[in-house]
Amino acid sequence: MPTLSVAKEKIAPKLRTPDDFSSEDVQNLSSVLNAVLADVFALYLKTKNFHWHMSGPHFRDYHLMLDEQSDHIFAISDAIAERVRKIGGTTIRSVGHIARLQRIADNDAEFVEATDMLRELHKDNKSLVESLRAAHEVADKADDYATTSLIEVWIDEAERRAWFLFEATR
């Protein structure tokens, strides 16, 4: 008769990185980057939501702009998560985890006026810029040059989105 063995929970081995970040730096960087990643997913989904539900006289222009912006937002999600892994951390694992970390509010309204959509996304992109600047400070303190470099590009992209959204509502 075969014996039954109790399955042991597997624990992932510590990721060894050549950067030699302290465990405190890994924790701080992972924490701030995971919060940014949650915001990126929230902003991506909100931008897609507004893209899908856009209406009005400027429908085509706004619809296309939000589609382009959502593509740019989604494109950075993998780079953020991979950066967390490269430094030895772990990243978000579920929609629930995103919901616990996100600081950008969802919008589940059945109808939102087109200009209100753009104004809300403008505010959210500016909020993302603030979060990215805070993350930059943490990365700079840890002498994480690769992360600071990536964040600088993401700040520029978010500022560009905010600018376009602002100009579209004038």
Residue written as token pair 């931008």? 47
Tell me if 86 is assigned to some domain. yes
Overall number of domains in the chain: 1
Tell me if 13 is assigned to some domain. no
Q: Give pLDDT, residue 1.
A: 55
Tell me if 155 is assigned to some domain. yes
Tell me if 6 is assigned to some domain. no
**Cα-Cα-Cα-Cα dihedral sign, residues 51, 44, 133, 99:** positive
64: CATH: 1.20.1260.10
Tell me if 12 is assigned to some domain. no
Domain span holding position 89: 23-168
For the chain, the farthest-separated pair of C-alpha atoms sits apart, in whole angstroms, at 78
Q: Give pLDDT, residue 20.
A: 82
Tell me if 7 is assigned to some domain. no
Distance separating alpha carbons of residues 127 and 135, to the nearest angstrom: 12
Spell out the per-residue pLDDT of the chain, length 170, in tens: 555 555 556 655 556 665 689 999 999 999 999 999 999 999 999 999 999 999 999 999 999 999 999 999 999 999 999 999 999 999 999 999 999 999 999 999 999 999 999 999 999 999 999 999 999 999 999 999 999 999 999 999 999 999 999 999 99
Q: Give pLDDT, residue 51.
A: 98
At a CB cut-off of 8 Å and minimum separation 6, what does 42 contact?
Answer: 98, 102, 103, 104, 105, 106
